């Protein structure tokens, strides 16, 4: 799953890169977590970046055995391909989820170790997402896929990262859903890198640029008070 990511890029740079304007002031977020309002671009309004809560709450979720207070934060690409649950969303409610890196935890004998994944070019990018109108506001979920050869070393899933051409096509109102499904492959590992980061990331209370910095295992002490 994808449960944490970052958007440390400035508002001005994001507006220039995505050719869209924020509707309200945006502050960098180095530990973006479910339920937080985060920057997305909806296909119904590709010229604006809005801040929307992470986690959709489809009607069927209320009547299922799935209990998630934040709603559904991830949608598997395989689910979109095999089931009709999100057929309408895929056709009519696609969005770009703006990011510049995501985090994943690796299970080890010494506990879970957090890692950060970024593009080698160190540029912002977009996850493929779907949005819904829930409780009077737009909310979003990130689409995940099978991992590439790099990401699988840490986790069995990774978010769908769109390349430059795909991010524009993803917002196109006329995009054929079949073509949309073909965009949900793993991002090429040769264009990515990853490294260990502080365990302070474990708590969504902490939001500091140092969470994005590479550290060695010997530095990764559990005592958060010594880190920040």
pTM of this structure:
0.92
pLDDT(61) > 70: no
Q: Which residues are known to be catalytic?
A: 2, 104
Around 141, how many Cα atoms within 13 Å sit in the side-chain half-sphere? 24
Pull the structure tokens for residue 70.
């934040």
Mean pLDDT of the chain: 92
Q: Per-residue pLDDT averaged across 95-106, rounded?
A: 98
pLDDT greater than 90 at residue 218: no
The residues, any chain, with a CB within 8 Å of residue 63's CB and separated by 6 or more, are: none
Residues paired with 129 in a beta bridge? 95, 142
What is the predicted pLDDT for the residue at 64?
59
Model pLDDT for residues 131-141, shown as the tens digit of each residue: 999 878 999 99
Cα–Cα distance, 169 to 150 (Å, whole number): 26
How high is the pLDDT of residue 107? Answer: 94
The CATH number corresponding to 4-226 among 3.40.50.300, 3.20.20.190, 3.40.47.10, 3.90.1680.10 equals 3.90.1680.10
Residue 224: Cβ-neighbour burial (10 angstroms; 0-12, 13-18, 19+): middle
Identify the CA nearest to 186 among candidates 161, 216, 204: 161
State the average pLDDT over residues 179-194.
Answer: 97
């Amino acid at each position: 799953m994808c449960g944490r990511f970052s958007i440390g890029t400035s508002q001005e740079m994001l507006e220039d890169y995505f050719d869209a304007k924020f509707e309200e002031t945006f502050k960098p977020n180095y530990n973006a977590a479910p339920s937080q309002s985060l920057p997305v671009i909806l296909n119904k309004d590709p010229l604006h970046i809005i801040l929307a809560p992470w986690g959709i709450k489809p009607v069927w979720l209320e009547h299922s055995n799935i209990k998630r207070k934040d709603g559904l934060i991830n949608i598997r690409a395989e689910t979109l391909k095999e089931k009709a649950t999100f057929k309408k969303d895929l056709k009519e409610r696609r969005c770009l989820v703006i990011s510049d890196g995501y985090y994943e935890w690796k299970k080890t004998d010494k506990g879970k170790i957090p890692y950060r994944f970024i593009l080698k070019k160190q540029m912002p990018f977009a996850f493929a997402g779907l949005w819904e109108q829930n409780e009077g506001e737009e909310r979003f979920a990130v689409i995940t896929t099978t991992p590439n050869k790099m990401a699988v070393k840490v986790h069995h899933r990774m978010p769908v990262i769109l390349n430059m051409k795909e991010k524009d096509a993803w917002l196109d109102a006329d995009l054929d859903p079949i073509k949309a499904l073909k965009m949900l492959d793993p991002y090429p590992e040769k264009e990515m890198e990853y490294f260990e980061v502080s365990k302070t990331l474990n708590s969504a209370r902490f939001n500091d640029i140092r969470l994005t910095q590479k550290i060695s295992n010997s530095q990764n002490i559990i005592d958060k008070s010594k880190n920040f």
